[in-house]
Structure 1
Amino acid sequence: MISDKAVEIKRKLKIEPIKGSYNSYAVHEKEKRDWSGNIYLTCLVAILAIAFFT
């Protein structure tokens, strides 16, 4: 369903001029890395290591 409310999306963009062209730019979106999966995996490995060595 389409809403009439405008949603503001905050994105970090890196805009660089393209060499050898006039008034042309390359737009790169900076992405944040999602560390939550790595943190859960590390905790699981630590719990399994403690259980194995005790």
Structure 2
Amino acid sequence: MILDEEVQQQRKLKIEPIQGSYNSYLVDEKGKRDWSGNIYLACLATILVIAFFT
């Protein structure tokens, strides 16, 4: 289900100058992972394994 609410997430940015270039920077974005999809898949896989072996 798609909600009309916008979720604010804080992003961690690491900005480094690129060696040998003028006024160019490398931006490394580190964000939090969303584990909800992985947890859902793990539960589904566990249920399927239990159903297969019983």
Q: TM-score range by the shorter chain?
A: 0.5 to 0.7
- The code of the aligned residue for 1:52 comes to F
Task: Return the TM-score normalized by structure 1.
Answer: 0.62
Structure 1 runs (4+) deviating above 6 angstroms are: none
1:40 and 2:40 equivalent?
yes
Of all paired residues, the percent bearing the same amino acid is 77
Structure 2 residue runs of 5 or longer lacking an equivalent are 1-7
Q: CA deviation at 1:37?
A: 0.8
Instruction: Quote the Cα distance in structure 2 between the aligned partners of 1:34 and 1:9.
Output: 11
Equivalent residue pairs, number: 47
Aligned-residue RMSD, C-alpha:
2.1
Structure 1 residue runs of 5 or longer lacking an equivalent are 1-7
Instruction: Quote the Cα distance in structure 2 between the aligned partners of 1:28 and 1:17.
Output: 11
Asked which structure has the greater CA Rg, the reply is 1
User: Where does 1:7-26 land on structure 2 (aligned, <5 Å)?
Assistant: 10-26=10-26
Query: Larger deviation: 36-45 or 16-25?
Result: 16-25
